Amino acid sequence: MADPPLACWLCRRPLGARVEWHHPLPKSQGGRVVEPVHPICHRTIHASVGNAELARAYADPDALRAHPAIARFLGWIADKPADFHAPTRKRR
């Protein structure tokens, strides 16, 4: 049996009790690979970037981390505990 993932694919913080699985290349675009993320990180990804844009420009984690809204989120979440939760703002 494989060891459980230790860090979030997006923010790189240790994972907590709840883990969600993100498709870097969306399933709707043929993606099969999944990566472990915190629920708040997963919601932020999808609130900030649509599936078509994820497939076109942000399947790479470094590119996604450089997106202005994601970079701002990562600065804010960096010192929060693994199971921290807060409402996620929707994309404008």
d(CA 82, CA 91): 24
Cβ contact 48:91 at 8 Å? yes
- Of 57, 63, 54, which is closest to residue 26 (Cα–Cα)? 54
What pLDDT, on a 0 to 100 scale, did the predictor assign at position 88?
74
Identify which has the larger pLDDT, 4 or 78: 78
Structural domain spans, the chain: 20-77
Residue with tokens 């505990």: 81
pLDDT digits (tens, 9 = 90+) for 4-62: 668 999 999 999 999 999 999 999 999 999 999 999 999 999 999 999 999 999 999 99
Tell if the pTM clears 0.85, that is, is over it: yes
pLDDT at 82 over 60: yes
What pLDDT, on a 0 to 100 scale, did the predictor assign at position 86?
84
Long-range contacts of 22-25, Cβ-Cβ distance < 8 Å, separation of 24 or more = 24/54, 24/58, 24/59, 24/60, 24/61, 24/64, 25/54, 25/55, 25/59
